[in-house]
Amino acid sequence: MADENRKIAFICSKGDLDMAYPALIMSWAALGNGIDVTIFFTFWGLDLVNKKRVDKLELAPVANTSFKLSMMGLPTGNLGIPNVMGALPGMTAFASWFMKKKMDELEVPPVREYIEMLHDAGAHLYGCKMTVDMFDMKEEDFLDELDGIVTAGDFMDMTEGAQIIFI
């Protein structure tokens, strides 16, 4: 049984499809273990809660040194081909489609649904005020599940004593 005082906070700074899931999956697991969860979306991480972007997240294979075409069942041999292939037109769309397909096969919810589930289960979700201001965004640009727009200092105060993970 989890200690009632356990807290974890995630800082999501990237808006890529492959960078969205680590915080969402770990947050869901933490909530299931009775751990208080707070997620702070900053810079491109705000795409995860932006109404216009959340359903259009992509996985860009170019310059992603961990991306292997062999993960998609394509032969690559021992060459550094994935980065070369990643630059080809259509590879981002293909990689994004493939990852979404694999996640769907595993019954992993899409990002928007994950955000809804986390909010409904009691996770606290906040956007970064400085980033919102810098990118000329408004509160209405974000999903209703976002609890608010706060400063980095506010986030630190809210998560005092929490384990903080930066993604």
Query: For residue range 11-56, what is the model confidence (pLDDT) as tens digits?
Result: 999 999 999 999 999 999 999 999 999 999 999 999 999 999 999 9
Percent of all residues in the chain with a pLDDT value above 90, rounded to a whole number: 68
| Mean pLDDT for all residues in the chain | 87
Q: Are 46 and 11 in contact (CB under 8 A)?
A: no
Give domain status of residue 96, yes or no: yes
Give domain status of residue 32, yes or no: yes
Q: Are 131 and 150 in contact (CB under 8 A)?
A: no
Three-class DSSP category at 155 = helix
Give domain status of residue 36, yes or no: yes
Give domain status of residue 130, yes or no: yes
| CB contact burial 15-40 (16+ within 10 A = b; e otherwise) | bbbbbbbebbebbbebbeeebbbbbb
pTM given for the model: 0.84
CATH number at residue 100: 3.40.1260.10
Alpha helices in the chain (DSSP H): 17-32, 81-86, 91-105, 111-120, 129-134, 152-158
How many structural domains compose the chain?
1
Domain enclosing residue 90, as ranges: 7-166
Q: Are 113 and 47 in contact (CB under 8 A)?
A: no
143 — pLDDT class (breaks 50, 70, 90): very high
Give domain status of residue 1, yes or no: no
Q: Are 126 and 150 in contact (CB under 8 A)?
A: yes
Of the candidates 10, 95, 83, 75, the one whose C-alpha atom is nearest the C-alpha of residue 48 is 10
Give domain status of residue 66, yes or no: yes
Longest Cα pair distance anywhere in the chain, in angstroms? 50
The pLDDT of residue 10 is above 80: yes
Q: How confident is the model at residue 96, as a pLDDT? A: 77
* Exposure on the CB side of residue 147, measured as CA atoms within 13 A: 18
Give domain status of residue 84, yes or no: yes
Give domain status of residue 2, yes or no: no
